[in-house]
A = this chain, B = another copy of it.
Amino acid sequence: MIEPPQPQPQPQPLPHEPPELPELPAWQIAQWFNTDRALQLADLRGRIVLIHAFQMLCPGCVAHGLPLASKVHESFARDEVEVIGLHCVFEHHDAMQPHALRAFIQEYRLRFPIGVDLPSADGAIPRTMASWNLQGTPSTLVLDRSGRLRLHHFGAVDELRLGALIGRLEAQR
């Protein structure tokens, strides 16, 4: 004699902040979009860096990951927080070549720099994805001003918690 039950709010785990704070190996990029010059992780020291690893035909990336990456890109000063897209194609390679990504970027009005993860010579997994041990797409990585890895997350990222992580890193100088 009451409305249908609603799910109880569940405490959500805090985003994983790796205890060892390793440095990421350099990315290996075949081609860049939305930037005039090749970017290097090392050049971004002093800023917080959010790397969004996606595939253009990944529904979770299109519905959640890329909109949140764009929102971070628009919400913080560029010299504070840098957003970088990493297109790491590990399936349907024929359908997600750079010329198709160019159309996707235009249609979805993505504004942040996006690098194409360098294909492997002998396997489906591109090189940066392999060296960073990414489990799939969408994956989100956050680095602090010193280049240390502070988030390495596969799947949807909670907006409030991501904001809090960025805020904590902003305050660290």
- Seen from chain A, the residues whose Cβ lies within 8 Å of a Cβ on chain B are 1-4, 6, 8-12, 55, 57-63, 68, 70-72, 74-76, 90-92, 94-96, 99-100, 102-104, 106-109, 111, 124-125, 135-138, 154-156, 158-172
Please give me the residue from chain B that is nearest to A102 by CB atom. B95
B57 and A104: CB pair below 8 A?
yes
How far is it, in angstroms, between the C-alpha of A135 and the C-alpha of B3 when the chains are bound?
9
Cβ–Cβ contact B163 & A159, under 8 A:
yes
Contacts A99-B95, A167-B166 known; A1 to B74 CB distance under 8 Å?
A: no
Considering only CB atoms, which chain B residue lies closest to A62 in the complex?
B62
Return the contact of A166 from the options B104, B164, B172 (Cβ within 8 A): B164
